[in-house]
Chains A and B, each alone.
Chain A
């Protein structure tokens, strides 16, 4: 059974960098899509982008292109979401999710990482 465990809550100041992780258990990581999903306070889910862990093929949603970077480390079965310069509007809950390469859905989800950006 795949489990995704995300890193803990973070508090940062505007302009700071941040890297959030999502570690997968199980043996399917190298053939999985990993998605990152944002939920701002009181709002719905937004799909930020997806990365295929086998070859790091990455697709960003236009709203997030250029502002975040997705990556994976196959040796540790870990996916990452990073910012080089946070804004206050990045304050949100962030979920990672995975799905099989043979399917086109997200069947495993992390518990979420709360990011707070405040001066």
Chain B
């Protein structure tokens, strides 16, 4: 199975900060990488698909980049509603796998 490793596991940031979350795959997954946001008590939400494509309705302050094994989720100008846990997920090979999550909380 392809292992997905996110870093950091958690971070503290302030409103207005630029935040980056890294995701590394244990082998090349080309661009088959998606990012999700999950808030406690709610369903997860797709933010970015195919490494860099913004899902419809997602604010443009979210962006994704990378290919192969290394990927980055960037949140420009963090907003109060962005405090959540973020997950990367690969769909290059079965079984699809998810990273362990990065919790973004308020500094």
With contact pairs A107-B46, A111-B43 given, residues A47 and B97 touching in the complex (Cβ less than 8 Å): yes
Q: Does A67 contact B (CB under 8 A)?
A: no
Q: Does A74 contact B (CB under 8 A)?
A: no
Q: Once the chains bind, are B43 and A62 in contact (CB under 8 Å)?
A: no
Chain B, Cβ-Cβ closest to A57:
B94
Q: In the bound complex, how far is the Cα of B38 from the Cα of A103, in angstroms? A: 21
Chain B 48-68 interface residues, beta-carbon cutoff 8 Å to A = 49-50, 55
Q: Once the chains bind, are A50 and B94 in contact (CB under 8 Å)?
A: yes
Interface size of B by Cβ–Cβ distance < 8 Å? 25
Q: Once the chains bind, are A45 and B38 in contact (CB under 8 Å)?
A: yes
Chain A, Cβ-Cβ closest to B55:
A107
Within the complex, what minimum Cβ distance (angstroms) separates B10 from chain A?
Answer: 11
Q: Does B44 contact A (CB under 8 A)?
A: yes
Within the complex, what minimum Cβ distance (angstroms) separates B2 from chain A?
Answer: 11
Q: Once the chains bind, are A50 and B96 in contact (CB under 8 Å)?
A: yes
Q: Does B98 contact A (CB under 8 A)?
A: yes
Q: In the bound complex, how far is the Cα of B89 from the Cα of A44, in angstroms? A: 12
Q: Once the chains bind, are A50 and B85 in contact (CB under 8 Å)?
A: no
A to B CB contacts below 8 Å, 5 in the list? A46-B98, A61-B95, A105-B50, A106-B44, A111-B43
10 pairs of A and B residues whose beta carbons are closest in the complex: A104-B91, A109-B43, A105-B49, A44-B101, A59-B94, A61-B95, A105-B34, A107-B46, A47-B98, A44-B100
